[in-house]
Amino acid sequence: MSERHPIRVMDKNTTSRQRALVVGLGISGTASALRLHRAGWDVVVLEKAPERRRGGYFIALFGTGLAAAERLGIADAVPNRFAPEGVSFDVDRTGRRRRGVGYADVFGGSRMVMRGDIEDAVFTALPDGVEIRYSTVPIALDQYLDGVGVEIRDLTTETTTVERFDLVVGADGLRSTVRRLAFEPEQSPIRRLNYMIAVYSLPEPVPGYRLQDGLLMAEAGRSVWVFSFADRPPSVLFSYRTDDVDAEFTRPAIDSLRAAYGPEPTGSTLGWLLDQFEKAPDHLFDSAEQVHLDHWHRGRVVLVGDAAWCLTVYSGMGASTGLAGADLLGTMLERHPHDVPRALQDWEDHLRPFIDHHLGSGVSMRGFFTPGNRAELLLRSMMIRLARLPIAGRLLAKMMTNRARMKSLDIAAAAA
Ligand SMILES: Cc1cc2nc3c(=O)[nH]c(=O)nc-3n(C[C@H](O)[C@H](O)[C@H](O)COP(=O)(O)OP(=O)(O)OC[C@H]3O[C@@H](n4cnc5c(N)ncnc54)[C@H](O)[C@@H]3O)c2cc1C
């Protein structure tokens, strides 16, 4: 335990119910809290931020996530903002447009939402018994045979307490503190894909297009996607290749974007999208990074969601697997209520092949989002043209059906 801060020891385990600490109030953490409470656990959630975040960005929730949402009892509370009458356009800098292939054309059957829609649905379903502490983080973990001592820091009062838990769930995202404290891998588990992403919401439709229309401008090494919704303005994704990720963070995000999408004249649509990014009240600007770990649990500490297996935007499965991972965790803890290590091992055994598949698809589907070079750009447009021909189209559709099947697997049902 650390000696850096004055420590108050508080062991709140006065009931016979087992006690879980969930770190992170994103999709994975909130779903874990909900599912563990339902499995009979007392749950405390720590969230670093001072309050719950809202909004987010475009998310396609696939069958895997929808099946988990159904079992968690939140599926009806997750809206579908898909715009069936929307058209996807391929556009270029000169203003040329032609009918293209949108995300929903390739992967049908998903529900189109904002990240906040899923977070709201799970959060609203949390029972009062789940204790949430904002502006609070774990700063040290100490594992014993039958529990975990956690040093917890309240960032507002600047006080530190130590509490004992029977299980710690690290759902604190790509740059997880729980992972660092409990796993301390010799090598960083983070794999950079050498792509940057920038995401924000538009205040209005793109000039010259309807609210429900989607846009894609794909060039070698860079792309811009406008993901449309039926009932709210679109979400925009810039995605570009870089050889020096660190350098992209050394200047304001808009400067990095303008450099990446220059020096050619932007034309009106790209120029407008960049201007809107600069004016947006908030945005996400980050590098696309995956997490590869040999184990997602150690003793009584388990990682779920991006903390364990960040798949990146390119796989389109981070939210779905966060929900499914949380749901399966509850199933396994119900199956082995007095043997946490066994439950965690079974949980990982069932989940691992599925997640490995999607880590792979996160890399291979990157070319669909953002062709890395001219050859990939050519291949992409060839595939789209082929998709319009009868026989080749059927073959491609079959290939995509296989991918879609892996996005729809009901993980907890498969483990039954
Ligand atoms: C642009 C973009 C598009 C995407 N599109 C899709 C899609 O179409 N389909 C899909 O399924 N997925 C998609 N994803 C992925 C998906 O959004 C993520 O995988 C998912 O939201 C991860 O949820 P999480 O709860 O695991 O982690 P996060 O959302 O990262 O949540 C982590 C939480 O932990 C908190 N936290 C961090 N550190 C600490 C700490 N030390 N102590 C306490 N709390 C802490 C954070 O504040 C946060 O609330 C997309 C991602 C991006 C970036």
Q: For 94-111, how does the pLDDT look when each residue is reduced to its tens digit (9 = 90+)? A: 999 998 877 766 666 789
User: How far apart are the CA of 381 and the centre of ligand 1, in A?
Assistant: 31
User: How far apart are the CA of 318 and the centre of ligand 1, in A?
Assistant: 8
Kindly report the backbone phi and psi dihedral angles of residue 44, in degrees, each rounded to the nearest multiple of 5, phi listed first. Answer: -115, 135
- Helix (H) or strand (E) holding 192, with range, is strand 190-201
User: How far apart are the CA of 127 and the centre of ligand 1, in A?
Assistant: 22
pLDDT of residue 108: 66
Amino acid at 258: R
Helices 63-72 and 27-38: angle between axes, nearest 10 degrees: 40
- Assign 3-class secondary structure to 61-118: ECHHHHHHHHHHCCHHHCCCCCCCCCCEEEECCCCCEEECCCHHHHCCCCEEEEHHHH
Mutate to test the pocket of ligand 1, among 313, 365, 369, 406 (most ligand atoms within 8 A of CB): 313
pLDDT of residue 16: 74
Q: Is the peptide bond before 185 cis (omega within 30 degrees of 0)?
A: no
Complete domains list, the chain, with CATH: 7-72+117-189+291-366 (3.50.50.60)
pTM for the structure as a whole? 0.94
pLDDT of residue 325: 98
Instruction: Give mean pLDDT in consecutive 10-residue pieces for the chain, a chain of 416 residues.
Output: 45 70 98 97 98 92 96 97 91 92 71 96 97 98 94 98 98 97 85 97 96 95 96 96 97 98 96 98 96 96 98 96 98 95 97 96 89 86 74 68 82 84
The rounded distance, in Å, linking the Cα atoms of 238 and 349 is 36
Amino acid at 404: A
Edge-to-edge strand ranges of the sheet holding 147-154: 7-9, 159-165, 147-154, 136-144
pLDDT of residue 10: 45
Please report the atom of ligand 1 found closest to the CA of residue 178. 41
pLDDT of residue 372: 87
Please report the atom of ligand 1 found closest to the CA of residue 46. 43
Residues with CB under 6 A from ligand 1: 23-29, 46-49, 57, 59-60, 115, 137, 171-173, 177, 197, 199, 237, 305-306, 313, 316-320, 322
pLDDT of residue 76: 97
